[in-house]
Copies of this chain bind each other. A is one copy, B any other.
Amino acid sequence: MQAGTPLQPGPGRQPSLAQTLWRAAALHAEATAVVDRDRRYTWAAFAQRVARLAGALQALGLQPGARVAMLADNSHRYLEYYHAVPWAGGIFAPLNFRLAVPELAAILADCAADILIVDDTHLETARALVGAQPVRHLIHAGDGPTPPGMLAYEALIDAHAPVPDAGRCGDDVAALFYTSGSTGRPKGVMHSHTNLVFSAVAYAATIGLDEHTVALISGPLFHVGAAGLCVPAMVAGGRIVLLSRFEPGQVLRLIEQERATVTSMVPTMLRMLVDHPEAGRRDLSSLRTLLYGAAPMPEQLVAQAVPLFANAAFTHCYGMTESTASVTALPSRYVMPSHRHLDKWRTVGRALPGIDLACVDGDDRVLPPDAVGEIVVRGPLVMLGYWNQPELTRATLRHGWLHTGDLGRIDAEGFVTIVDRLKDMIITGGENVYSAEVEAAVYAYPGVAQCAVIGIPHPAWGEAVHAIVSASPGAVLEPAAIIAHCRSLIAGYKCPRTVEVREQPLPLSGANKIDKPRLRAPFWQDRASRIV
């Protein structure tokens, strides 16, 4: 707020994303907020650009609650978009650039965004999307020349005065993150202002974020994986250092150059860092927190990474789009070799402050400690629901708990272990088989590059365990040998009955996971018993 202006009736007691920007700009005006290649913006400059972009969006006719889509690699403009759309009163709906045009078209139709922001890299896709879609305005947020028919992002910022925050807050929707289900109708997960602010503060409390934080973001900003660190770091008044895409050498260089204090990655990304020739030559001592998710950290990888990131706490987190950000965290000490005897390192840790977790059976009855069931979550970071899908929302949030679709167990101390996706569990001859466990056994076989274990129809057992694999370059895979290998590791009923070796890489979903529904579909055509 400018001196001399009256106090604006704002969100008052309700959390608001705009309010967090207002605070950061008020407290840290001259500190650097964003570093994007050779561009650096202070909080004052960043907030100014956000309020001007918000003015431009309003001038284009943005109504309260209207959606604005973005299709772009990471850049400072992506962060401006995160903030400017809610500031202007709208809802930001980032698009996964890995999706095909028909998938993107379905999402645009679902959220009815009439403004689409696109960068240089994705111009072709954007052009293909216009026409049949609800999009009325295409904004070009790139450094190259603005193509005819598009509005230039920087010109819009220059041409519009900053506008006041539209005052949306609390349970108003701020963001729509589409999940990566590649079949069926797209699911737009609604994040409220309270969701974003509360989860940010709970996460900051858990991993320790403040105005001295320098967060290196290498994952794509269309995904909650990156947003889940980016938003909390900004709410805390920290600095964001962006990579347009993950590249291990660049990550190492930027940690050294920008003195990054925190970053997040999956174990395979960390493996690429550790194996990189520059790893030992970079000064990585600034890194205080290394967040990882998706899989436990192998002991050998920890042993290699600890000397490299001597000051870093290795913190395992678990969350999903529907929970806005992480719901659990496993503190570093449990990950370290010295504490492996506590046997917590395969877990994803415990609930963040303000969050409840439970493990339930198929009738939504609470299970005793260590029993496997579906993990359910409640608390202020649970999504409002799915956009325009009230029935799916009611089913997913029944009894006020988010049903994660993850199978897991919770021990007597509250540590959570994820064993599989509920829908990936295979029931064969009355036994539950967790595909993730079988996949881990298959992956341990030399030369396996990719593996998906699925259930396929079987006349006697209901389902049979089937593995689909692809080989590493130069490797030759023998189905019988893989099955024999599995038998040496896991119980016979869990082992694949059949193994299919593919020459082509397995299909990936939008979130870069192997697309199991697509793999399962041909086996289950014309059968109602398996919801693919």
Contacts and interface: CB of A to CB of B under 8 A. Distances in A.
B204 A355 contact: no
Interface in A165-224: 194-195, 197-198, 200-202, 204-206, 208-210
Contacts of A235: 353-354
A378 interface: yes
Contacts of A13: 194-195, 378-380, 382, 384, 400
Nearest to A382: B13
A413 B365 contact: no
A360 B8 CA distance: 12
A313 B1 CA distance: 33
Contacts of A11: 378, 400
B356 A23 contact: yes
B414 A4 contact: no
A7 B201 contact: no
Given A378-B10, A414-B26, A414-B28, A354 B20 contact: yes
Q: How many monomers of this protein are in the complex?
A: 2
A376 B1 CA distance: 13
A74 B4 CA distance: 47
A5 interface: yes
Contacts of A204: 205, 353
Given A1-B366, A2-B366, A197 B354 contact: yes
B353 A12 contact: no
Contacts of A3: 366-369, 371
Contact of A10 (B208, B354, B400): B400
A364 interface: yes
Contacts of A12: 378, 382, 397, 400-401
A358 interface: yes
A351 to B, nearest CB: 6
A10 B237 CA distance: 33
A236 interface: yes
A192 B369 CA distance: 32
A8 to B, nearest CB: 7
B366 A5 contact: yes
B364 A6 contact: yes
B365 A4 contact: yes
| Interface footprint category on A | 35 or more
Contacts of A195: 13
A412 interface: yes
B399 A7 contact: yes
Contacts of A208: 208
A435 interface: no
Interface in A343-376: 350-351, 353-358, 360, 363-369, 371, 376
A365 B209 CA distance: 33
Nearest to A211: B350
A22 interface: yes
Contacts of A20: 353-354
A133 interface: no
Given A19-B356, A201-B198, A201-B202, A350 B27 contact: yes
Contacts of A14: 380
A362 to B, nearest CB: 12
A9 interface: yes
A29 interface: yes
A225 interface: no
A15 interface: yes
Interface in A219-263: 235-237
7 contacts: A3-B369, A23-B355, A26-B357, A198-B198, A201-B353, A235-B354, A236-B353
Which 4 residue pairs are nearest across A and B when measured between Cβ atoms?
Answer: A12-B400, A27-B414, A205-B205, A3-B368
